[in-house]
């Protein structure tokens, strides 16, 4: 069975081989997951940064009376993080022990081609994501339960502002 290109094979600190893209695509079978970046190269465990599908998760939240004001707000609701954890547990059930995802962070925004995080064809630019979200990766592997992320926002007027969000690190 071919799971990906040889150039995409990554190793954990224990020497387990895996293809992040394979696990990412399995997670994207969930209607609640739009994008995901699996982390773990040269690390003891695997983790992931997950971007929710706002439309599907928004509908799910409305059906349960969970109110929210923005993508960032919705992505950090405890119920939504648990929804993502359930999707991860489902995929974990099919993976060998050393390749199960142990931590996830629901990102406060979607990966964006304009920010260089993904290509126009929605392929993940792993090096950009790992560089831009280094504080999240450090929090996952540093055993933190939350991480503060600052983001620059460009408004329609051309003015810029900075938002800060506290993101939950969920242990699976």
Residue 154 pLDDT: 67
Question: Do 111 and 54 meet the contact criterion of CB atoms below 8 Å apart?
Answer: no
Residue 159 pLDDT: 83
Residue 163 pLDDT: 77
Residue-level pLDDT, tens digit, the chain, 172 residues? 445 555 678 888 888 999 999 999 999 999 999 999 999 999 999 999 999 999 999 999 999 999 999 999 999 999 999 999 999 999 999 999 999 999 999 999 999 988 899 999 999 999 999 999 999 999 999 999 999 998 776 677 878 878 789 999 999 9
DSSP-derived 3-state class of residue 166? strand
By C-alpha distance, which of 161, 100, 165 is closest to 136? 165
Domains and CATH numbers, the chain: 6-171 (3.30.300.30)
- Rounded to the nearest 10 degrees, the angle between the axes of helix 20-27 and helix 78-92 is 120
DSSP-derived 3-state class of residue 32? coil
Secondary structure E strands in the chain: 10-11, 17-18, 33-39, 46-52, 101-106, 146-154, 160-171
- Give CA–CA dist 14/101, Å, rounded: 15
- CA Rg, the chain, in Å? 16
Alpha helices in 96-133, H assignment, sequence order: 126-132
């Amino acid at each position: 069975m071919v799971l990906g290109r040889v150039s995409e094979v990554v190793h954990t600190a224990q020497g387990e081989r895996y293809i992040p893209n394979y696990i990412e695509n399995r997670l994207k079978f969930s209607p609640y997951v739009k994008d995901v970046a699996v982390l773990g190269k040269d690390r003891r465990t695997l983790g992931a940064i997950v971007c929710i599908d706002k439309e599907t998760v928004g509908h799910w939240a409305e059906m349960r009376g969970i109110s929210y004001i923005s993508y960032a707000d919705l992505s950090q609701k405890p119920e939504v993080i648990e929804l993502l954890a359930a999707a991860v547990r489902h995929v974990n059930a099919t993976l060998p022990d050393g390749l199960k995802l142990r931590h996830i962070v629901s990102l406060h925004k979607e990966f964006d081609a304009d920010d260089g995080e993904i290509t126009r064809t929605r392929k993940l630019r792993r090096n950009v994501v790992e560089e831009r979200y280094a504080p999240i990766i450090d929090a996952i592997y540093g055993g933190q339960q939350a991480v503060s992320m600052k983001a620059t926002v460009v408004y329609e007027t051309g003015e810029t502002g900075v938002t800060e969000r506290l993101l939950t690190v969920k242990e699976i």
